[in-house]
Amino acid sequence: MGKEESTIEGEEGLLALFMQEQDAPELKERMQSKLAATERYLRQAGLGLDQVLSAAGERSAPGRAREYAGCPEERSTLLWRRTLRSGQRISCRGNVVVLGDVNPGAEVVARGDILVLGTLRGVAHAGAMGNSRAIVAAFRLQPMQLRIGRLISRPPEGESPPGLPEVARVRSGKVVIEGYLPRGERHGADGSG
Amino acid sequence: MGEVLVVTSGKGGVGKTTTTANLGTSLAMSGNKVALVDADIGLRNLDVVMGLENRIVYDLVDVVEGFCRLKQALIKDKRMESLYLLPAAQTKDKTAVTPDQMRGLCQELRGEFDFVLIDSPAGIEQGFRNAVAGADKAIIVTTPEVAAVRDADRIIGLLEAANMRSPHLIINRMRPSMVRRGDMMDIEDMLEILAVDLLGVVPEDEQIVISTNRGEPAVLSHSSKAGEAYRDITRRLQGEVVPIQPLALDGGIFQRLRKIMGFGQN
């Protein structure tokens, strides 16, 4: 199986890669063979196929995706390689990285951090199990609503975002949005997350 | 083998039926053999817009149920020799047909026609699933409204999940003057969110109301701006490179003149 298709990799926890040209049944089939090949490793990681698939957008109807699936533990990351469109939702026990936009009406939920390499216009909930140290970062942060831990916030009305990468985090009980400073990111360094 | 295109939008009232009627007529005008399929079972409209309402004997449901042959149900257009309509049933509902039956129907039509255009119902339920089942490509119709664009985005997501990639986008009922005043979403805004290929922009045109009521597609009239836009879209569908009319993009000379002359607030 080539890199163009789907791979499961990652040393700590699990990283699932969904390539763009695949539909769910095909993905399921490929995942099945992949999973069979790495069964012992996956058992340790506590991941089943249904969990992987519940992260595949359309498959997870809002009601059914309540258990955070996709990646088995909090330190792992789900990489989503396409734009998340209205009505689609991904959720993950670890972090989520979206290579694309998150459009209005779409939802990303992670117990860890959320990183959008594109424009975040939908709803993002980082630290979904109450971790208020989680962050949401995006190339352009224009969310409908931001939730971090137990806090819910709306962007201030009438203010146009700067068009630069920004990070949202909780500071003294409030969600604040700051410009992203490549060298000033101390979040990981102080042992949180 | 012909191409099967589904015209869909998610939201109702954005101009799917008008678009289907105009593109179909225009494709037939340029020499193609075209079938229009009304997949909006229970709420059929395409026959009215085409002015063929009084010729219906059999419909789509009769065909898939085997009550009649496909040829018997196809209505030949009154103006165009190579244009046919397969009307929807009005007394049934969306559950009267399955996606598999639609696939079979499209397969049969594909053998006979150069283009098969399917007019999808609004919504994302079974009617939508039936409409897209047998299609090769989708044409998404939206208007410059936030709600319509949101629904279009949802539809594109559903099409992707059904493995139908790279749909074409038609922006309908554009009002350049409103865009210029910043009162309406502009093309850039919409393309940024939807990230699909733009097939054309159709300006708001009062003549459309008249032409749909009369059952005469606007492409037949040379004075209709919308008709002109639909003719351009038809050429693009056949692979020609036709620039998007600058008029649709930025107000046009009249708007500018009126502004200069001081009564530009419309």
A123, β-bridge pairs: A107, A145
Please state the φ and ψ torsions of residue A126, each to the nearest 5 degrees. Answer: -100, 155
CB contact under 8 A, B161 and A23: yes
- Please, what is the end-to-end C-alpha distance for chain A in angstroms? 33
**Does residue A16 have a pLDDT over 50?**
no
CB contact under 8 A, B157 and A101: no
Mean pLDDT taken over chain A: 71
In chain A, which residue's Cα lies nearest the Cα of B154? A86
Which pLDDT score, from 0 to 100, does residue A24 have? 55
pLDDT digits (tens, 9 = 90+) for A67-108: 344 555 567 899 999 999 999 999 999 999 999 999 999 999
Query: Quick one: angle between helices B146-161 and B126-133, nearest 10?
Result: 60
Confidence of residue A158 (pLDDT cuts 50, 70, 90): confident
**CATH fold for the domain made of B3-260:** Rossmann fold (3.40.50)
Residue A188 domain flag: no
Residues of B in contact with A86 (CB under 8 A): 150-151, 153-154, 157
B139, β-bridge pairs: B7, B168
Distance CA A149, CA A144 (A): 17
ipTM: 0.78
Residue A192 domain flag: no
Which residue of A80, A90, A102, A103 is the best one to mutate when testing the B interface, meaning the one whose CB has the most B CBs within 10 A?
A103
Q: Calculate how close chain A gets to B161, using CA atoms only, in Å.
A: 6
CB contact under 8 A, B154 and A85: yes
Those residues with Cβ within 8 angstroms of residue B257's Cβ, 6 or more apart along the chain or in another chain:
none
Which residue of B145, B188, B193 is the best one to mutate when testing the A interface, meaning the one whose CB has the most A CBs within 10 A?
B193
Return the domain boundaries, chain B: 3-260
Distance CA B19, CA A6 (A): 39
**Does residue A187 have a pLDDT over 70?**
no
Confidence of residue A51 (pLDDT cuts 50, 70, 90): very low
Count of domains for chain A = 1
Distance CA A88, CA B124 (A): 13
Mean pLDDT taken over chain B: 91
Look at residue B205 and give its three-state secondary structure: coil
**Residue A91 belongs to a domain with what CATH number?**
2.160.20.70
**Does residue A52 have a pLDDT over 90?**
no
**Residue A160: domain span:** 7-179
Q: Are B169 and B199 in contact (CB under 8 A)?
A: yes
Look at residue B201 and give its three-state secondary structure: strand
Residue (of B249, B227, B163) closest to A27 by Cα position: B163
Q: Are A187 and A114 in contact (CB under 8 A)?
A: no
Residue (of A46, A48, A35) closest to A9 by Cα position: A35
Residues of A in contact with B160 (CB under 8 A): 82, 85
CB contact under 8 A, B156 and A85: yes
In chain A, which residue's Cα lies nearest the Cα of B165? A21
- Chain B: residues touching A (Cβ < 8 Å): 150-151, 153-154, 156-158, 160-163, 165, 192-193, 195
Which tokens in the block code for residue B149?
Answer: 């664009």
A58 touches B at CB < 8 Å: yes
Distance CA A48, CA A25 (A): 16
Residue A187 domain flag: no
